[in-house]
Structure 1
Amino acid sequence: MRVLVTGGDGYCGWATALYLSNRGYEVGILDNLVRRHWDQQLGIETLTPIAPIQQRIQRWRDLTGKSIDLFMGDINNYSFLINSLREFQPDSIVHFGEQRSAPFSMIDREHAVLTQSNNVMGNLNILYAMREEFPDAHLVKLGTMGEYGTPNIDIEEGYITIEHNGRKDTVPYPKQPGSFYHLSKVHDSHNIHFACKIWGLRATDLNQGVVYGVLTEETGMDELLINRLDYDGIFGTALNRFCIQAAINHPLTVYGKGGQTRAFLDIRDTVRCVELAIANPAEPGHFRVFNQFTEMFSVGDLAMMVKKAGVTLGLDVEIQNIENPRVELEDHYFNAKNTNLLDLGLQPHYLSDSLLDSLLNFAIKYKHRVDKNEILPKVSWRNPGSVYAKS
């Protein structure tokens, strides 16, 4: 099977591309490398040193004998997109190629517009390309659990059956996104659902929780294959940030009271979930939704787990509750369903002491690359443009 991974140079995309290639899929990466450009603009760096994409792909070929095709360009450029698809002829399109940070989207008007235009229009271009020339391809789209928000009822997988005034219907689950980034994912979901309904396309939306970890079997094979690991206030995610903060003896920065509960998963499960979706494609005309996570934790609980693991390793770990830069409930109900991927055979990696030890040791190895000025959040939801200096 031929699988094109958009955004294949990124955190989830790179790990997925190597994983699929290692399992015999013919893989192509389509990426405009803008994520690296944003790092330069914002003055931030991944904890790990990332080789140029061409060097990464060549090293993979040297080690495994497996080739990965590379298409460098922007999915918002439709002629480039359709020509790349014609050349590669994908059976499945795994779409990671979007701006993926909520804080980035909330910096100011320009970043909000960039996020929505990049994400929504690029996704639309893929849908039109599929309709015009690849109607039998399967779109596997990375969504986010953040589309749902924190409703005071259980979160179902994409759809909910409701009864109103004596009548019953199954409808898309109501969305309460918490940033302009999450809103862009909601728009994507609506557009994909509509395209499947009117054009008979097939798509799977993977509403992913917060991903942690860095090593997969493939990215751990060689230094040149290593994945990125972000710790800054723009692109860093909770558990990864906490482990890196612990490694440099910086207090773990818990936003507000720390009661915010979210869904989480190991990056090794991210790549496996994508493969399960590819190997079990949706039916034509069907927009299928999987909630892609394995466990739920509050941010405060995560910090306590990292503190415990860090102390065991001899680190001096403190927890600091700081003013929450976001507008979000810090005490709320959160219970989400995640049975579809388990039914397809997912065997989760649960967060364990050994995983935390591994992640902490990894952070310690590269702690010399940490810029302490980028640890604290610099983006305010309430006052866009007032906190972060425009670049």
Structure 2
Amino acid sequence: MRVLILGGDGYLGWPTALHFSQAGHEVAVLDNLARRGYDEELGVQSLVPIEDLETRVKAWQEVSGKTITSYAGDLLDADFVYETLRDFAPDAVIHHAEQRAAPYSMIDREHAVYTQHNNVIGNLNLLFAIAELNPEIHLVKLGTMGEYGTPNIDIEEGWLEVEHNGRKDRMLYPKKPGSFYHLSKVHDSHNIEFACRIWGLRATDLNQGVVYGLETEATKLDPRLSTRYDYDSVFGTVLNRFIIQAVLGEPLTVYGDGTQTRGFLDIRDTMECLRLAVENPADRGEFRVFNQMTESFSVGQLADLVAEAFPGPVQIEKLENPRVEQSEHYYNVKHTGLVELGLKPHLLSDTLIESLFDIVSSHKDRVNTEALTPTVTWKRPAKEAVTA
């Protein structure tokens, strides 16, 4: 199959390109390199050094003998989107190309507007291009479990059977997102479902949990193929932060009481979920949703796991939560669709915390400890009224 990966220079986009190329598909990547620009804006860097996209592509050809086509451009440029689809003629498009950090979207008005404009409009441009050029293209869109929030009922896979006043219907599962970023993903999901229902497109929405890990079979082949390791308080994940704090001998900073619970999965499972979704496409007119996670943990449980695994003393410190989110909440997520397609999950208890300690130790001189402290708050300060 011909697979176009949008956001192919990112944390997940790059190893996705390698995974599909390794599996024998013809692969192209598209990126506007905005993610690298966020690092410059925030004054941070990936813990593990990463090469530029051109070097990565050349290194993969040297290592594997396989070619990855590269397109430089922005989904906000509709003409570029149309030209790329015409030129590469993909069978499937994997859409990773969005601003992905909740804290980034909550910095201020400008960042909230940027996030929603970038994500929603870019996705709309893509939907129109697919509909007009080739409706047979299967769109595989990276969503997020954060679209659902933490409802006090089981979280189904995208759809909910409802009975109300004696009548029944099947509708999209109600969404309760927790940031302007997560709201942008909800808008995407609604727009994609509409396009499938009205235009007969085929799409799979992967509502993904928090991804942990760094290495895949492909990225381990050469240091030039490494992907990002984000640890800062804006783009870094909680597990990445805990690993670094343990290695540096700093307290593991748990936001709030630590009972906030989320879904997680290994980066290798993310690669397989994407492959399974692409190789088993949705039907024409179908908006298919998979909850892409394998386990759930509270923040406090993750801190305890890291403390138990680290071969030295570890302290755990609770901070005031900069986010507005529920604690002590119900969290039961249905996630059977990808397992039924053949996913064999890696579990956190069986894998990688120890290996991450080694990776962080070898690059600890690159850590900016100030970046570990949360600087973005969900609580907007009240401002005095402006008078003429």
TM-score tier, shorter chain, comes to: over 0.9
Which amino acid counterpart does residue 103 of structure 2 have in structure 1?
Answer: P
Is 1:370 the counterpart of 2:373 in the alignment?
Answer: no
Which residue number in structure 2 is paired with residue 389 of structure 1? none
Q: Which residue of 1 aligns with 2:346?
A: 349
**Residue 317 (str. 1) matches residue 314 (str. 2):** yes
Structure 2 residue 338 is matched with structure 1 residue 332: no
Report the Cα distance in structure 2 between the residues aligned to 1:107 and 1:48, rounded to whole angstroms: 25
Q: In structure 1, give the amino acid aligned to 2:40.
A: Q
Offset, 1:280: 0.4
Change over 3 Å in CA distance of 1:104–1:171 after alignment to 2:
same
- The 1:126/1:385 distance shift into structure 2, 3 A limit, reads farther
Alpha-carbon distance, 1:134 to partner: 1.6
CA contact under 8 A between 1:204 and 1:287: conserved in structure 2?
A: yes
In structure 2, the CA distance between the partners of 1:304 and 1:225, relative to structure 1 (3 Å rule), is: same
Does the 8 Å contact 1:309/1:353 carry over to 2? no
Cα offset, 1:361, TM superposition = 1.3
Q: What's the CA shift for 1:385? A: 12
Q: TM-score, normalised by structure 2?
A: 0.97
Q: Distance in 1 between matches of 2:233 and 2:332?
A: 27
Letter of the 1:9 counterpart: D
- List alignment gaps of at least 5 residues for structure 1: 387-391
- Distance in structure 2 (CA, Å) of the matches to 1:166 and 1:200: 30
Matches of 1:13 and 1:55 in 2, distance apart? 15
1:335-362 deviation line (CA, Å, top 9, x unaligned): 0000000000000000125411011111
Instruction: Kindly indicate whether residue 152 of structure 2 is the aligned counterpart of residue 155 of structure 1.
Output: no
Q: Which residue of 2 aligns with 1:235?
A: 235
What amino acid does structure 1 have at the position aligned with 2:332? N
Structure 1, 357-366 or 21-30: larger mean CA deviation: 357-366
**Aligned amino acid, residue 367 of structure 2:** V
Matching residue of 1:58: 58
Does residue 1:361 correspond to 2:358, yes or no?
A: yes
- CA offset digits 1:245-285 (Å, max 9, x no partner): 21111211110000000000000000100000000000000
1:341 maps to a residue whose letter is L
TM-score (norm 1): 0.97
- How many residues end up aligned between the 2 structures? 383
Alpha-carbon distance, 1:383 to partner: 2.4
Secondary structure, aligned partner of 1:50: coil
Structure 1 stretches of 4+ with a deviation exceeding 6 A read: none
Matched with 1:89 is 89
Query: Deviation of residue 316 (structure 1)?
Result: 2.7
Structure 1 match to 2:30: 30
Q: 1:381 to 1:92 in 2, by over 3 A?
A: same
Q: Is the contact between residue 148 and residue 174 of structure 1 (CA under 8 Å) also seen in structure 2?
A: yes
Contact 1:162 1:168 in 2 (8 A): yes
AA in 1 matched with 2:227: N
* Structure-1 residue corresponding to 2:386: none
Instruction: Note the residue ranges of structure 2 that are not aligned, 5 or more in a row.
Output: 384-388
Secondary structure of the 1:291 match is: strand
- Pairwise CA distance, 1:366: 1.0
- Which residue of 2 is the match for residue 265 of structure 1? 265
Matches within 5 A, 1:277-296: 277-296=277-296
- The answer on whether the counterparts of 1:2 and 1:90 sit within 8 Å (CA) in structure 2 is yes
SS of 1:220's equivalent in the other structure is: helix
How far apart, CA to CA, are the structure 1 residues paired with 2:173 and 2:280? 23
